[in-house]
Amino acid sequence: MRFLDVKTDYAFKRVFGSEGSKPVLISFLNAILNYQGEYAIVDLTIVDPYQIPMLMGMKDTYVDVKAVLGNGKHVIIEMQVLNVAGFEKRILHNAAKEYATQLVKGEDYTLLNPVIALTFTDFIMFEGSQEPISRFRLIERDRFIEYSDDVELMFVELPKFTLELNALDSIQDKWIFFVKNAGSLEYIPDTLASVPSINEAFSLINEAAMSREELEIQFKRRDFIILQRGSLKLAEERGVEKGREEGLEEGREEGREEGREEGRKLGELTKALEVASNLLDILDDASIVSMTGLNDEQVKLLRLAKKR
C-alpha cells in the first residue's frame, strides 16, 4: 500500500474536511483536544465541507478545516507546512475573526461561542520547549489569573513528536503519529488499525483507491511544497553566508582599527620614553612622571638602563 502525505493540503482536506469526514473528525478532535466523558464531542458540523474536485485551484501552502461542535464551540484546524513570515499573526487573526464574526450588528455579546484554533506545524515554533503540544489562553501576566478561555490557540509541532509505533499508548499519540508519518508507511500498522476512525482515515488516503487525476493533484501539491521548502532553505543559507561575510569584513575592519590604535599608542610611548630619557639628569622621577605620563616603574627602568 501507498498513502498520501497528510501534511499536504489535498490529503489533509480529504481526511478531515470533505464529505464523509465527520466520524473521523470527531474522533480526531476528541483525541487531540483530550475531550472525554461528558465533555466528549458527539456531533459537529463541518463548515463548507471541501469537495475533492475543487482542489485544483488551491495555491496556498496551508489549509484549514472549520467545524462547529455540538455545544456551539468553533474549531479551526490548520496544517502549516512552511514557516513563512507573518504565520503567527495570521493564526491569531483567524481565531479573532472567527470569534468576532459570529455576531451580526446589534446582537448580544453573550451569544459569542468559544473558538479553538488548532494548528499542526511541520516545523518547530517554540525552541525553548520539548513538548509537542502547546495551548495558549488569555491570562494575567504576573498572577496567571485566567481572563477568558473563549479564544484558545493550540499548536502541535510535529518535529517534536518522536514516539515510535511500539511506544504509542494513547489515541492522541496515534492520531499525531498518523498525521506525521502516514505518507511514509507501506501498510497500516496493527496499533493504528485497531482504532476504527484511524483505519477509516487510512482508507481515505490509500492511493490505490484514487483516480489518476486525484493522484496528479496530490503529487503536484507535494512537489510544490518541496520546492517552496527548498527555496526557504536556500534563502536562509544565503542569509547566513552573507551575514558571515559581513561579519568577517567587520572583523577585519575592527582588526585594522585596533592595529592603528595600537600603533598610535606605541608611537606615543616611544616619544614619551625619549623625552623622559633626556630629563633624567635634570628632574626627579616624580616630575618626569608628571610631564610625560609614564609611570614610576617605567622611569625607574630608564634610570637603571642609563647607569648600565
Q: What are the DSSP calls for 148-187, one per residue?
A: EEEEEEEEEEGGG----GGG--SHHHHHHHHHHHGGG-SS
Count of alpha carbons within 13 angstroms of residue 51, beta-carbon side = 3
pLDDT at 202: 95
pLDDT at 20: 81
pLDDT at 215: 72
| pTM as predicted | 0.69
Contact 38, 53 (CB under 8 A): no
Copy the grid coordinates of residue 65: 478545516
pLDDT at 120: 94
Four-point Cα dihedral 140, 141, 143, 145, nearest 10: 20
Task: State the 10-residue block means of pLDDT for the chain, 308 residues long.
Answer: 84 84 93 89 82 46 73 89 82 91 85 92 91 94 90 96 94 96 93 95 84 70 63 61 63 62 66 74 77 80 69
pLDDT at 253: 65
* Residue carrying the nine cell digits 511500539: 166
d(CA 4, CA 55): 15
Question: Whole-angstrom distance between the N-terminal and C-terminal Cα of the chain?
Answer: 96
pLDDT at 53: 47
